[in-house]
């Protein structure tokens, strides 16, 4: 087991990129997560909801917004057995209305964070990290939360150098 872990949430399918609806084979955040994994040799874990959001963009927006408005904690398909061996957790997610998808809240509340360093990264369409770093700090008060990295969704494939510098 590596002592670093990349944990991420990402949704492929229909998305809005640079002003247009596009179908993504792999989600933007998943591409960044893969680059971090390659650069660091970290283990990789994808956060998946039991009931995933729709492939259709507008339907997904409605579902995700409803979850955020009622402060939901969507059930997850699974978790890493333990975080015990990991010192550094790279935590990735798309920006959903200035914060993380609610499934990431479910994930963070599942574990104890004492002694862990969280390095947050997000992909977005203009809102950057939003208030997500503040939200991570309040969900994981015992973790050391480092400076975040925000990458525009349409630029992820060109972002390797920026990612390397941030790592």
Residues of this chain that interact with ligand FMN (CB under 6 A) are 10-11, 15, 24, 27-30, 60-61, 64, 94-98, 123-127, 153
Q: Which of 151, 66, 133 is nearest to 102 (CA)?
A: 66
Contact 148, 166 (CB under 8 A): no
Instruction: Map tokens 């959001």 to a residue.
Output: 53
Task: Give residue number: closest CB to ligand FMN.
Answer: 153
Contact 4, 46 (CB under 8 A): no
* Least CB distance to ligand FMN at residue 112 (A): 27
Residue 29 CA from chain centroid, whole number:
7
Which tokens belong to 40? 């660091």
* Least CB distance to ligand FMN at residue 152 (A): 7
User: Closer to ligand FMN at the Cβ: 1 or 62?
Assistant: 62
User: Closer to ligand FMN at the Cβ: 94 or 113?
Assistant: 94
* Least CB distance to ligand FMN at residue 36 (A): 13
* Least CB distance to ligand FMN at residue 95 (A): 4
User: Closer to ligand FMN at the Cβ: 64 or 145?
Assistant: 64
The SS3 of residue 101 is coil
Distances (CA, A) of 65 to 59, 71, 97, 154: 10, 10, 8, 22
| Residue 25 CB neighbour total at 10 angstroms | 8
* Least CB distance to ligand FMN at residue 101 (A): 7
User: Closer to ligand FMN at the Cβ: 98 or 117?
Assistant: 98
User: Closer to ligand FMN at the Cβ: 83 or 150?
Assistant: 150
């Amino acid at each position: 087991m590596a002592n670093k872990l990349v944990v991420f949430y990402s949704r492929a399918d229909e998305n809005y990129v640079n002003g247009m609806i596009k179908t993504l084979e792999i989600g933007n955040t998943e591409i960044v997560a893969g680059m971090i994994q390659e650069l660091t040799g970290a283990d990789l874990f994808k956060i998946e909801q039991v009931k995933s959001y729709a492939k259709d963009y507008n339907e997904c927006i409605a579902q995700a917004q409803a979850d955020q408005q009622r402060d939901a904690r969507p059930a997850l398909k699974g978790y890493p057995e333990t975080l015990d061996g990991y010192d550094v957790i790279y935590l990735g997610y798309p920006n959903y209305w200035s914060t993380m998808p609610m499934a990431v809240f479910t994930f963070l509340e599942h574990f104890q964070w004492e002694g862990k360093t969280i390095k947050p990264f997000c992909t977005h369409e203009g809102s950057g990290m939003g208030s997500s770093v503040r939200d991570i700090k309040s969900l994981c008060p015992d973790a050391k939360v480092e400076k975040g990295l925000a990458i525009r969704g349409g630029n992820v494939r060109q972002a390797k150098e920026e990612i390397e510098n941030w790592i």
